[in-house]
Amino acid sequence: MNLRKLKELIKKEMLILLRDKQTILLLFLMPVALIFFITLALKGVYTDKIYERKIPLVIENESKLPKANLLEEKIQSNKLIERVKRPQGMDNDRIFEDGKAQALVIIPKGFDEGQKPVEIYFDPVLDTGYKIAVRSLMTSLTVEVVMGIDNLDAVVANLIVEKTKSNKAFPSPLQHTVPAYAIFAMFFIAIPMSIGFLKEKNDGTLQRLFTYPVNPNLVALGKIIPYYIINVVQFLLMMLVGVYLAPYIVGSSFHLGEHPWHLIPVTLIVAAATTGFGVLVAALARTSEQSSTLAATGAILMGVFGGIMVPYFVMPVVMKKLALISPMYWAHQAYLDVFLRDASFSFILPKLAVLTFFALACFYVAGRKVKWI
């Protein structure tokens, strides 16, 4: 009997949801739009700085002798270097002012004879990691020229072997945006959920419902399950977009990782957390305006702190610590564990435990606050 009542309550809630076509379209189209546009923005901004960066570098060959010419050729042909011209009228102290160059290499007269070393100048604001990379590159190329070695990397290949898997240092733009904005949109389920609850409460639907022999917990389940299902379906559709459509449009790769089946428990727990947030907003809000404001503000703040708006790995240390208070951070990191780190389920489990606690806390507080009638 209770199962039949639950099915009818779920059916009623789904019919109400499907009538609001604009909201349903927004829930599904918003993350798709964000995935495409933010991915393009990441490719345009962060790709230069993080993913495929080339260092704009000025090369000045004062020697013009064979070894100096060979070193000049090796530097400018390296895939990490983008050779640029010295800005007109700029001395070495001001060469970086317009931002067109971030390093200056001077091959002085006397280099071929071993009398003078190569000189390197760096833009003061260039990241230390890039300074080290450029300095190491110049050292290896100079050694190749001076020692008469064609490829120093090949010579030391048997001495040093890099074991880090490709694409494991940080996510590609799509690996960041697909889970990030799917999670972000899932939290917005709080808006239709809370508005629907308040509408039924204000127009007397809930009061009439309780004139029948129905358990309040059954009513709660009947209202929660449809939104939970929508959140799961929403994420599945975003995954299909990320895997089959987005790579061909934005030109960025998307890797599911070695254990894609871990997405199932992660998505089920994340959907519970997002639904719990919706229940909490529905319980705390008193008007439709309050519910919309509370849900949207809460989702945006969690997105800002949780590494959704700005990738977590480029955040300063203070923001990384603040990210721990956002459930979106734990959800996003759980997905990145699957996509990026090929993590075992035991490694992902603590993040799911945090999300489960968040969901249970939301349901508990909502249960204490909600007034059905």
Question: 275 near 224, Cβ under 8 Å?
Answer: yes
Report residue 210 as tokens.
Answer: 């309780």
Q: Where are the beta strands (DSSP E) in the chain?
A: 55-61, 81-84, 103-107, 119-122
User: What count of residues does the chain have?
Assistant: 373
Question: 351 near 267, Cβ under 8 Å?
Answer: no
Report residue 278 as tokens.
Answer: 């919706």
| Sign of the Cα pseudo-torsion (362, 239, 309, 194, in order) | negative
- Rounded to whole angstroms, the Cα distance separating 355 from 180 reads 15
How confident is the model at residue 359, as a pLDDT? 94
Report residue 198 as tokens.
Answer: 């308040």
Give Cα separations from 225 to 75, 217, 221, 365 (angstroms): 61, 12, 6, 18
For Cα atoms 148, 154, 156, give the angle at the middle one, nearest 5 degrees.
90
* CB hemisphere CA count around 95 (13 angstroms): 21
How confident is the model at residue 215, as a pLDDT? 65
* Residue among 134, 121, 127 at smallest CA distance from 79: 134
* Residue among 138, 78, 148, 147 at smallest CA distance from 107: 138
* Residue among 20, 33, 369 at smallest CA distance from 191: 20
Q: What are the residue ranges spanned by the domains of the chain?
A: 2-46+168-369, 54-155
- Rounded to whole angstroms, the Cα distance separating 129 from 103 reads 13
What contacts 294, CB < 8 A, 6 or more positions away?
Answer: 190, 194, 281, 284, 285
- Rounded to whole angstroms, the Cα distance separating 327 from 359 reads 9
How confident is the model at residue 170, as a pLDDT? 66
Give Cα separations from 326 to 61, 107, 183 (angstroms): 53, 51, 12
Query: Measured in whole angstroms, how far is the alpha carbon of residue 278 from the centre of its chain?
Result: 23
Question: 257 near 338, Cβ under 8 Å?
Answer: yes
- In tens, the pLDDT along 39-91 reads 777 765 555 555 556 788 889 899 899 999 999 998 888 888 888 887 777 77
Look at residue 10 and give its three-state secondary structure: helix
- Rounded to whole angstroms, the Cα distance separating 130 from 126 reads 7
Question: 348 near 266, Cβ under 8 Å?
Answer: yes
* Residue among 63, 138, 128, 60 at smallest CA distance from 92: 60
DSSP 8-state secondary structure symbol assigned to residue 52:
S
In the chain, the amino acid numbered 212 is Y
- Is it true that domain 54-155 has CATH number 3.40.1710.10? yes
* Residue among 18, 20, 370, 371 at smallest CA distance from 229: 18
64: left (phi > 0), else alpha (psi -120 to 50), else beta? Answer: left
Mean pLDDT by 10 residues, the chain (373 residues): 70 72 74 81 58 77 90 87 79 72 88 88 79 85 82 62 56 84 88 78 66 66 84 90 83 80 94 91 83 88 89 83 93 91 89 95 81 50
